[in-house]
Amino acid sequence: MSEEQEQQEPSPRPWSTRAQLLAAVLWPSLLAASFATMLFFAFIDPELLHDSPAADVETSRMTTYGITFFFFWLITALSSAVSVYLVRTSPGSAPGRND
């Protein structure tokens, strides 16, 4: 690559703190929810959920997979968000502190 080409390519814009925090919450929670969904449905057949007395709504197998995945993603995202909150508000994380 020539020096002229390097100067013409725009440098990537750094992520804002909010975007970094959002990624720190959503990415691990997505992976955890994916794993939890696979593990859950390795042992539970979605058809068994339809036969339970608590199931009032008839849904397809794919709908059950989707709803369960988003449920797990919500739970794991809340867990990640609480972790980020606790780290950011801990006494040792005061702004301007260089450890």
Question: pLDDT truncated to tens, each residue of the chain (99 aa)?
Answer: 556 555 677 778 888 989 999 999 999 999 999 999 999 999 988 877 766 666 566 778 888 899 999 999 999 999 999 999 998 888 876 555 544
Closest residue by Cα to residue 74 from 35, 27, 20, 30: 30
Specify the pLDDT at position 95. Answer: 58
How far apart, in Å, do the first and last CA atoms of the chain sit? 39
- Cα distance between residue 69 and residue 55, in whole Å: 18
Specify the pLDDT at position 6. Answer: 57
Per the CB < 8 A criterion, the answer to whether 77 and 29 are in contact is yes
Specify the pLDDT at position 22. Answer: 92
Verdict on whether the full-model pTM lies above 0.75: no
